[in-house]
Structure 1
Amino acid sequence: MCRGNQILLIFILFSSFTACEVDPPIKEQLPSNDIRFVVPPGWPNPQYDFSSNPLTKNGFILGRQLFYDTKLSHDNTISCGSCHQASAAFADPGNSVSKGINGLAGNRNSPSLFNLNWQTNFMWDGGINHIEVQPLAPISNPVEMDENLKTLVNKLQSDASYRKLFNNAFGTETVTSQLLLKALAQFMGMLESYNSKYDLYARGEISFTTAEMNGLTLFQQKCNTCHTTPLFTNLQYLNNGLDSFFTDGGRAEITGFASDSGKFKVPSLRNVALSSPYMHDGRFQTLSEVLDHYVSGIKNSSTLSAQLTGGIPLSVQEKQDILAFLNTLTDHTFVNDKRFHDPFKN
C-alpha cells in the first residue's frame, strides 16, 4: 500500500474488552469452501507458508472482512479495499496516487496485491519486512487510514459481530492486534494469481497467437532479467531511469545508502494490463507509454540499472508484439474470484 517515508514496523499488541450494542450480523458464507494455499508446479517455495498462522476458512473470512471494512480508518471512510480493488488485481485503477482520509493524497502509486507469500519485503521501498506487519503501515499513515492501533482494537472489540468472527477464527472473543494482523495475512496470502493465458500456455493447455509468441520471445530477450518468471519480478530494487534527480529517494529512504537512491522494487507484470497507471508515482497511464520510456526515455544517473544504459531498442512492431504478450498475463480467474470480493457488497 502506497505511502511516503516508510519505516520498519514491529508488532504492538493491544487487547481490550468494552460493553457494546448489538451490531447487524456479518455475512460469513464464502462462494466457495475451497480455502487452501497452492504452490503451482515449478514455482519456488513461498517465503510465508502459514506454518505459524494456520490457514482456516474462518480466519480467511475474518481477514477478508477486515480488509474491506472502513472501520480500520480513523474516520471510518477508508478501507484497504478502497485503494486495492479486486477488478484491477487489487491496484487502484486510474489513480496515480491514492487518496486517504479527508481526501489526502499520498506520493506513491498503490501496487497490485497478489502472490505476496513469495515476498520478503513489502512496499515500493521494501520498508516492511513481514506480511503480518505490513498492514500497520497504511493503518497508521496520516494520509492513508490515520488510525491508532489501540483505538482500532477497541472499535472492533465493541462490535458484537467482530467478537463472533474472532471467536470463530481463533477461539477467543478478545480482539488483539496480533490476531487482527494474522487474519489479514490469511486473506492477503490467499491472493494468488497463476491462471492467466500465459500460465495455460506454459502448462501446455493452449497455444499462443503469432503476435503473442513473438512477444514472448522478445520478452525473454529484453525484459526477463528483471521480470523473471514465474513471478515476473526478481524482487530486487532497481533504478529504471525515470529521473536524473530524485524527489523520492526510494530504497535509500530505508537503507540510508546513496547507492540506493532512485531505486524501487521491481513490480510483477502479472495482471499488468489491469493495473494502470504505472511506476511508483503513477506517471504513465498506458503500457505503450511504459515501452516508449524504455525505448527512448531513460534518464541517466549514478544509480541507473546497468542493463538500461542506452535504453531498450524496439521497433513499432516489436512493441505491439510485447503488448500482445503482456495481455496474456491477465488472470481473469483471479480477478473474478468472488472469494476475494467485498463481502459488504456480496
Structure 2
Amino acid sequence: MRNGIIGLAGGIILASVCAWTVADDPVPTGPYSLRYPSSFGGRFTIPADNPTTQEGVYLGRMLFYEPKLSSSQTISCASCHQQERAFTDGLARSVGVSGKFTQRNSMSLANLLWVRQLFWDGRANSLEEQALVPLGHADEMGSKTGEAARRLQKTTLYPTLFKQVFGSDTITDGRIGKALAQFERTLISANSRYDRYLQGSYQLTEAEQRGLQLFNSAPSMERNVRGGNCAHCHGGPKLYQEVFHNNGLDQKPADAGRQEITGLDSDKGRFRVPTLRNIELTAPYMHDGRLATLIDVLDHYSEHIQNSPTLSPELPGETNGFHLTNGEKKDLIAFLRLFTDSTFIQNPQFSNPHMKKIER
C-alpha cells in the first residue's frame, strides 16, 4: 500500500490529534445529476438496467474503497487508483494480492463516462464489465466468482445498502460491478487551468502559449512549421481520442496490445490513447510504465520513436521523432501542466467514505 504512512519514534505530539472513525452519514437517495462542460458532449451510454442514482453512487464509492472485495481483504480498487494521483498508483505496474506485478500500468479513471472501450487493449465495452475483471484476476484482487459477494453478504452494512439500490439485499458480482460503475461515472475532471483558458477566464503565459502551438501543430518543413502533432491523438476538451495507436516504443512489441482482442496483425503493439488530464500526476507513463517523467515522454517522441509495420502513420518513424529543441520541450511541459485539476484530486465526494477525519 502506497498511501502515506508517517512514523513517529520517541516524540511527543503537542498539536491536535487526528482520529478516524467509520463514516455514519445518512445515505442520499434519488437521481444523480452528472455535471460536465457542454464541450465534452453527450456521446455516452448509461445502461437502462443501471441508472445513476445517489444511493448507487454512494454504494459504489463504498465498494471502491472496500478491501473485502479482494481475496486477501487487504486490496481495494483504491489501492491501484489513488485519488491524489488522479486515480493511478505511481507504479510502473501495480501489485495485487499475489505480490506479482500486473501486466500493465494502472490507468487514470478520469472521465470514464465517455470511454467506450476500456483497458489499454479495449477488452471491456462498459464500466460494468470492466469492474469485474480486476475483481477476479489472480494477480489483482484475486476473488473467485461469488467470493467477494459472499463476504459482503455476511456484513451488517452491505445487504441494506444493496437493497436500497437494487431492491433486494442479495449481493452478487454483477451488482457489485453495477455499483462500482455508477461511482466511476461520476469521476469527472473538468476544472483545470486549461478548462478555464477554454472558458476565457485564464490567460496563458508566453511559455504556455508556445506549448499550445507545438501541441496543436503538425510539423512541416515546407511551411517552416514546428510541432509535436500531439493533438492528433490528444486533442479536444477531453484530451484524448477513442483510438488505438502504436506509438513507436518498440520495433518488435513484446506486448501485443490490441491484437490480443482483435486478432488482427495491424493491431500489434497498439494501445488505447489515454487522456492527458492530470498528466502531471500520473507518472510513470505508457502501458508498461517505462517512462518515468514527462521529459522522458517528450524525449521519446522527439528522438526515440521506433519504426515498425504497425507504427501509427502520424508519427515520423523514418526520422525517429519530431526532433524538438530543449526549449520546445520546456514549453510543452508548461502547457501539459495546465491539465492538472486540483479540485478533482481533492473532491471529498470521491474520497474514502469509510473513514472520517475528526479533529480533537
Shift of 1:166: 1.1
Shift of 1:345: 3.1
Q: How many residues align?
A: 321
Residue in structure 1 matched with residue 183 of structure 2 by the alignment = 187
CA contact (8 A) 1:132 1:181 kept: yes
Residue in structure 1 matched with residue 8 of structure 2 by the alignment = none
Distance 2:174 2:102 in 1: 27
Shift of 1:114: 1.2
Residue in structure 1 matched with residue 3 of structure 2 by the alignment = none
Residue in structure 1 matched with residue 346 of structure 2 by the alignment = 336
Residue in structure 1 matched with residue 18 of structure 2 by the alignment = none
Residue in structure 1 matched with residue 232 of structure 2 by the alignment = 225
Q: Which runs of 4+ in 1 moved over 3 A?
A: 24-31, 49-52
Residue in structure 1 matched with residue 221 of structure 2 by the alignment = none
CA contact (8 A) 1:194 1:331 kept: yes
Q: Which of 258, 268, 271 is equivalent to 1:261?
A: 268
TM (norm. structure 1) is 0.89
Q: 1:29 to 1:207 in 2, by over 3 A?
A: farther
Distance 1:158 1:82 in 2: 23
Q: 1:34 to 1:215 in 2, by over 3 A?
A: farther
The AA in structure 2 aligned to 1:157 is Q
1:43-92, CA deviations, whole angstroms, 9 ceiling, x for partnerless residues?
A: 22232246542222211110001111111111111110000000011011
Distance 1:139 1:74 in 2: 9
Distance 1:186 1:247 in 2: 35
The AA in structure 2 aligned to 1:40 is P
Q: Which of 51, 54, 68 is equivalent to 2:51?
A: 54
The AA in structure 2 aligned to 1:343 is P
Shift of 1:279: 0.2
Residue in structure 2 matched with residue 115 of structure 1 by the alignment = 111
CA contact (8 A) 2:36 2:190 kept: no
CA contact (8 A) 2:190 2:341 kept: yes
Alignment of 1:62-77 (within 5 A): 62-77=59-74
Residue in structure 2 matched with residue 14 of structure 1 by the alignment = none
Distance 2:324 2:305 in 1: 14
Q: Which of 279, 288, 297 is equivalent to 2:286?
A: 279
Residue in structure 2 matched with residue 327 of structure 1 by the alignment = 337
Q: Which of 148, 154, 168 is equivalent to 2:150?
A: 154
The AA in structure 1 aligned to 2:304 is G
CA contact (8 A) 2:245 2:270 kept: yes
Residue in structure 2 matched with residue 314 of structure 1 by the alignment = 324
Residue in structure 1 matched with residue 140 of structure 2 by the alignment = 144
Shift of 1:29: 5.0
Q: 1:224 to 1:207 in 2, by over 3 A?
A: same
Distance 1:50 1:115 in 2: 17
1:147-177, CA deviations, whole angstroms, 9 ceiling, x for partnerless residues?
A: 1131111111111100121122233222123
**Structure 1: tracts of 5 or more residues without a match:** 1-23
Q: Is residue 234 of structure 1 aligned with residue 244 of structure 2?
A: no
SS across alignment from 1:279: coil
The AA in structure 1 aligned to 2:113 is N
Distance 2:49 2:31 in 1: 20
Distance 1:335 1:25 in 2: 22
Residue in structure 1 matched with residue 199 of structure 2 by the alignment = 203
Residue in structure 1 matched with residue 129 of structure 2 by the alignment = 133
Stretch of structure 1 that moved more, 46-55 or 335-344: 46-55
**Structure 2: tracts of 5 or more residues without a match:** 1-20, 218-228
SS across alignment from 2:332: helix
Stretch of structure 1 that moved more, 200-209 or 46-55: 46-55
Q: Which of 77, 80, 105 is equivalent to 1:83?
A: 80
CA contact (8 A) 1:26 1:161 kept: no
TM (norm. structure 2) is 0.85
SS across alignment from 1:230: coil
The AA in structure 1 aligned to 2:301 is Y
CA contact (8 A) 1:27 1:343 kept: no
SS across alignment from 2:247: coil
The CA RMSD over aligned residues, in Å, is 1.9
The AA in structure 2 aligned to 1:305 is S
Q: Percent identity?
A: 43
Larger Rg: 2
The AA in structure 2 aligned to 1:329 is F
CA contact (8 A) 2:258 2:269 kept: yes
Q: Which of 38, 42, 66 is equivalent to 2:39?
A: 42
Q: Is residue 99 of structure 1 aligned with residue 95 of structure 2?
A: yes
The AA in structure 1 aligned to 2:257 is G
Distance 1:97 1:29 in 2: 37
Distance 1:75 1:288 in 2: 38
Shift of 1:334: 0.7
Shift of 1:27: 3.4
Distance 2:142 2:112 in 1: 24
